[in-house]
Structure 1
């Protein structure tokens, strides 16, 4: 009898314990997220082909770890950023199109435009002080940033490398004021003084410069390349998050491959031996050093046993430099794409993009769906499982998680917009003050200086060699109308024509259009 009673008591307690366990909610582990952002990397600056065929540039560059990432995830063949760096980075951080946030050119000194206006145009009062965590800074945009949202939802947020979010002397120059808990080497400038630890990553050893990379003093005087130093520090920061059992967001924002084009001694000689122009050999070594960083981080994730719970996104902030500072013929370094950095031709805005979402994205897959830089904001918040957030700003981006899941969608009938009422400096195809729209196979560019249009069928003419503006006037008017309506809807700024002292007309202005009819 005693045994029977004890048995009943045991079963009762055991059943109660089981019942309690069932009622305990299961908390899903948040994924770690790494955004690998490269500076000035062109669509062709990789051995991964993003076109229908492999090109001579794909054969030139050696990026085995990009190949590895592509084999494990999804390749985006039509991913877009803005023509220059700061507007892209602000769109990433805010989910806003550049026409709306008005940080339409690159930033540096507070209250000062880094580039003079082009002859014939006066630039509008664009937000030359960048993004800010406060509304007290003039000529700036007050926003809720992506890392701020991630931090509020339990993420350990790490910034490594180039920041270039806000001007010198403003809170926005420091990533720690924008939601990051760790800042490795990020400040207001958009290029390094030097890539060499032996030069303390400074422009000149005996002088201070706005370009000098901050915060890496432990590597000063050492024979280490900047790309490697950033990688080592990023791994240490990730380990801190792992030790504290926190999900992390790493914004791995390399200064490479921005000027100064300095050779990475680990890889430069083999490109010289191939007979490349000396500048191009240095450039190729910057590319391969960046790729080694990607591989080192992927290896570390595997060593720590967290690779299967870490999402990796790879992107560039604008097209590859081609108008200046390169070896060989200008405007040819991104072929078959036309032009390069600073241009709204495809060479200046189409980027190499890869995403690995373990267990979700099909390995070695590809999509031709359109994606633009402001889409990263809603996508990353969704990848992090965050829904209940609010932003000061109105966001424009569209999440591409459904693309990553392999779901079919009619994404390419969505219009993409670029607005650059500024002057980059150099000249070349597609370079200048412009407003641009891509929709379906077609792309329209409106040049502010002389109110002229370029209209291209990108599907048939990826190199933008045949301007169809006078031949396809119905399409021209349709696109000009949609572009004009969009610019007015987001209160976009237009420059002033200094010859007439009048604001440059909208692209759908009747006087502008009648030239084509």
Structure 2
């Protein structure tokens, strides 16, 4: 009997050691943070916008890990979040615009020329047969099945109320704090109870699970960070590997100044609007630093992978409206909602002690659907079953060797939607494909095809389509083939009831 007890103890000890060796994983997502909204320069030089912000913890993460200069999300939030959890491109999963809080509501704006595409307006579903949803196996579910403690804190916004994907618990998260169907908070202010106002009708944007901070001066970014640290106590104490999806509501509207930092930016000469935005960015940076400090204090930082990124490009003035907080994405073109670089290129930093060399840089393009296979590989999950086609490619080889020559591939973005009430500069009804340094933008309204060389023209200022018709044709063909393969939703011409043509069906003579 004594030998049996010793054998069981040895087995349990071995299992605990193996669990400990598997790295903890933290994915820290910021909402609407632009490529330039940080003192970390992701371009080839420091721009004036970088000098506007004070983000020492982002700088610290860059020093301790790897900076990705060509990291991509989708133009708006829900498509990015669904792509991350499923490994599918947005054109494949069909959640191509943001999911409304309530079921069967379309967030697209009506248009005189084009009718609605048949996109998945209800978001992600882990259950088959739910109308207008993307049915897929989320990777947190796989991690949970392989021994990880899975934690979600902050913004969720994967699906509409009344569908299974509305609850992070149904997507594989064992703990959910503050994640619900809304894409933004009612308020960042504890004085406002974050929207949970007694005597007033319930507002779907009211943030749940933070009642402890009602009536205080605790900013929402700080409140959910404090709660996130509480969720880490048990897995660290029990020596269990954990996955934390830390999803900040900031810097999405509404724009409430973070008073901890507001005055310093006013003193630096920023306008009220710019200072307000910068204060929200610095609040996010403090959250990042607090989590990093906590992991070091608990002695687990050396076995924790950290990924920092934004869910889309920064909200630019063209779409924010006069008098509202916004950012500038220059030298990138346009902003949130657009398939131009300002809408899809995002800041991304990765720290993995013992694997990623400090202060390294990768210029290889990666895209949000790559997170799915990457995180599962990092977690040492070798065999798993999913119901969807995974489009992403693991970037673990880049983490181990940033100068390694990876296989070239084409990246695709697809927006068959009217995100804003007007078209604005470079927004609504567009698809794009990037291969190498070349990028093609397809305008669904009129069939126009634009070609840019991002290496020579990061700001996409010079359309080279007329000079390189063969390259235009090759990229349009590849984009069309990919969209057909995925059965990508397309808007319809109201005059004929027919879908807009694929990019390779447009005569080049009209461009």
Asked whether the two chains share a fold, i.e. TM above 0.5, the reply is yes
The runs of 5 or more residues in structure 2 that have no matched partner are: 1-6
Aligned mates of 2:404, 2:471 — CA distance in 1 = 24
1:136: how far off? Answer: 3.2
Q: Does 1:140 align with 2:133?
A: yes
Q: Does 1:234 align with 2:228?
A: yes
1:204-283 map, 5 Å: 206-283=200-277
Aligned mates of 1:374, 1:177 — CA distance in 2 = 20
Find the residue that maps to 2:231 and give its secondary structure. helix
Question: Deviations 1:9-61 (Å, cap 9, x if unpaired)?
Answer: xxxxxxxx9xx99xx79736211100000000000000000001000010000
1:244: how far off? Answer: 2.3
Q: Which residue of 2 aligns with 1:338?
A: 333
Whether contact under 8 Å (1:437, 1:443) holds in the other structure is: yes
CA 332–93 in structure 1, closer or farther in 2 if over 3 Å, else same: closer
CA 339–331 in structure 1, closer or farther in 2 if over 3 Å, else same: farther
Q: Which residue of 1 aligns with 2:154?
A: 161
Q: Does 1:198 align with 2:194?
A: no
Aligned mates of 1:328, 1:189 — CA distance in 2 = 24
1:204: how far off? Answer: 5.8
Find the residue that maps to 1:201 and give its secondary structure. helix
Q: Which residue of 2 aligns with 1:27?
A: 18
Q: Which residue of 2 aligns with 1:490?
A: 486
Aligned mates of 1:368, 1:79 — CA distance in 2 = 9
1:95 corresponds to which of 87, 102, 116 = 87
Q: Which residue of 1 aligns with 2:4?
A: none
Segment of structure 1 superposing worse, 471-480 or 25-34? 25-34
Segment of structure 1 superposing worse, 381-390 or 203-212? 203-212
Question: Deviations 1:160-185 (Å, cap 9, x if unpaired)?
Answer: 00000010222211111111011110
Segment of structure 1 superposing worse, 318-327 or 380-389? 318-327
Aligned mates of 1:411, 1:448 — CA distance in 2 = 32
Segment of structure 1 superposing worse, 436-445 or 25-34? 25-34
Question: Deviations 1:133-156 (Å, cap 9, x if unpaired)?
Answer: 211311011211011011111111
CA 276–328 in structure 1, closer or farther in 2 if over 3 Å, else same: farther
Aligned mates of 2:201, 2:260 — CA distance in 1 = 28
1:513: how far off? Answer: 2.2
CA 48–90 in structure 1, closer or farther in 2 if over 3 Å, else same: same
For normalisation by structure 2, the TM-score amounts to 0.94
Q: Which residue of 2 aligns with 1:404?
A: 399
Q: Does 1:416 align with 2:408?
A: no
Aligned mates of 1:204, 1:445 — CA distance in 2 = 45
Larger radius of gyration: 1
Question: Deviations 1:285-329 (Å, cap 9, x if unpaired)?
Answer: 000000000000000011000110000000100000013336789
Find the residue that maps to 1:312 and give its secondary structure. strand
Question: Deviations 1:74-99 (Å, cap 9, x if unpaired)?
Answer: 00000000000000000000000001
Q: Which residue of 2 aligns with 1:11?
A: none
Question: Deviations 1:60-115 (Å, cap 9, x if unpaired)?
Answer: 00100000000000000000000000000000000000011001100012111023
Aligned mates of 1:135, 1:486 — CA distance in 2 = 24
Work out the number of aligned pairs and report it: 497
Segment of structure 1 superposing worse, 145-154 or 118-127? 118-127
Whether contact under 8 Å (2:276, 2:325) holds in the other structure is: no
Q: Which residue of 1 aligns with 2:379?
A: 384
1:280: how far off? Answer: 1.1
For normalisation by structure 1, the TM-score amounts to 0.93
CA 362–166 in structure 1, closer or farther in 2 if over 3 Å, else same: same
Whether contact under 8 Å (2:432, 2:439) holds in the other structure is: yes
Whether contact under 8 Å (2:37, 2:50) holds in the other structure is: yes
Q: Which residue of 1 aligns with 2:287?
A: 293
The runs of 5 or more residues in structure 1 that have no matched partner are: 1-16
CA 331–194 in structure 1, closer or farther in 2 if over 3 Å, else same: closer
Q: Which residue of 1 aligns with 2:3?
A: none
CA 60–412 in structure 1, closer or farther in 2 if over 3 Å, else same: farther
